[in-house]
C-alpha cells in the first residue's frame, strides 16, 4: 500500500550551522521521525505568503506544527508583554494552508501552536499568557515540558483514537485557546484550559495543545497518529 504523503509546516527562524548564521526554514526532527516511523512520506512546507495553496493537491494530509505565538493582531487584540515577536509570514501561510485543506476536506492535525492557528482561523481567540488566568503549570520554562491530566469528550475523535477519556499529556506553552470559534472543544485540562478542538463535520480535523512529536509520546499518542494517517490514506483513495 502506498505511503501517505504528509505536509508539515515549519519555522522560519535565525539558525547557525557550519559557516552559516542566517534565517532558515527548519523543523525539529522529532516531527519527521514521528511520521516517517508511522509509515508516511514527509514534505516540509516553508512559510509562503502567496495565497495559492495548490501544493495541497499533491498531499494527503496536513500537520500544522508548534512554535512561536500567533500574532494577536490576527484576532483583534494588542500584544501582551510576554508575546513573541510576530511571525507574520508563518501566520499567513499556515492560515492559508489550513483553509485550503478544509476546502478539500483534507485531514488536518494541529500541534500546540497549530491548534491555536486553527481556532483563530475559525473566528476564535487566545489567552496570551496562561499564568494570568490559571495556577496550573503548563510550562515552567521555555524548552522544557511538564505533564498534567486532561479529560476528553466521550465519543470524540481524540477519545476514540487514544482509547480513553482520561489521559496525561505533556505541555510546554504559555498561550492557549480562549475561544475556539466554531470548532468543538473535546479536551480540557483540570484548570479548564482547552487541550483539544475538533471539527466534527470532517473525517479528521483535530488540534491538540500537547506535543505528540516528542519521543516520549510515541506510544501514548500512537492511536492519534495512526488515526490521522488512516484518514490521509482514505482522502488519497477518494481523489
The catalytic position among 10, 205, 213, 235 is 213
For 63-112, where are the alpha helices, taking DSSP H only? 88-103
Backbone dihedral angles phi then psi of residue 50, each to the nearest 5 degrees: -65, 125
Radius of gyration for the alpha carbons in the chain, expressed in angstroms and rounded: 17
Question: What are the residues facing 61 on neighbouring strands?
Answer: 6
d(CA 232, CA 8): 13
Q: Counting beta carbons within 10 angstroms of the beta carbon of residue 29, is it exposed (0 to 12), middle (13 to 18) or buried (19 or more)?
A: exposed
- Catalytic status, residue 213: yes
d(CA 168, CA 26): 29
- Catalytic status, residue 77: no
The catalytic position among 10, 112, 197, 205 is 112
CA dihedral 99, 210, 131, 116 (to 10 degrees): 0
The catalytic position among 173, 174, 211, 235 is 211
- Catalytic status, residue 211: yes
Q: Counting beta carbons within 10 angstroms of the beta carbon of residue 17, is it exposed (0 to 12), middle (13 to 18) or buried (19 or more)?
A: exposed
Question: What are the residues facing 43 on neighbouring strands?
Answer: 7
Active site residues: 112, 211, 213
Amino acid at each position: 500500500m502506498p505511503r501517505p504523503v504528509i505536509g508539515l509546516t515549519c519555522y522560519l527562524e535565525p539558525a547557525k550551522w557550519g559557516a552559516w548564521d542566517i534565517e532558515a526554514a527548519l523543523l525539529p526532527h522529532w516531527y519527521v521521525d514521528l511520521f516517517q516511523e508511522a509509515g508516511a512520506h514527509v514534505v516540509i512546507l516553508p512559510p509562503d505568503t502567496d495565497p495559492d495553496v495548490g501544493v495541497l493537491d499533491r498531499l494527503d494530509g496536513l500537520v500544522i506544527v508548534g512554535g512561536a505565538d500567533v500574532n494577536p493582531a490576527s484576532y483583534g487584540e494588542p500584544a501582551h508583554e510576554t508575546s513573541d515577536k510576530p511571525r507574520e509570514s508563518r501566520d499567513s501561510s499556515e492560515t492559508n494552508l489550513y483553509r485550503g485543506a478544509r476546502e478539500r476536506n483534507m485531514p488536518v492535525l494541529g500541534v500546540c501552536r497549530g491548534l491555536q492557528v486553527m481556532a483563530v482561523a475559525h473566528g476564535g481567540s487566545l489567552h496570551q499568557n496562561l499564568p494570568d488566568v490559571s495556577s496550573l503549570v503548563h510550562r515552567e520554562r521555555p524548552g522544557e515540558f511538564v505533564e498534567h491530566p486532561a479529560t476528553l469528550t466521550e465519543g470524540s475523535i481524540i477519545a476514540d483514537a487514544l482509547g480513553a477519556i482520561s489521559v496525561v499529556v505533556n505541555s510546554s506553552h504559555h498561550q492557549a485557546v480562549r475561544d475556539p470559534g466554531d470548532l468543538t472543544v473535546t479536551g480540557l485540562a483540570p484548570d479548564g484550559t482547552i487541550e483539544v478542538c475538533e471539527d466534527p463535520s470532517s473525517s479528521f480535523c483535530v488540534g491538540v495543545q500537547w506535543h505528540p512529536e516528542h519521543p516520549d509520546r510515541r506510544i501514548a499518542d500512537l492511536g492519534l497518529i495512526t488515526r490521522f494517517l488512516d484518514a490521509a490514506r482514505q482522502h488519497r483513495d477518494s481523489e
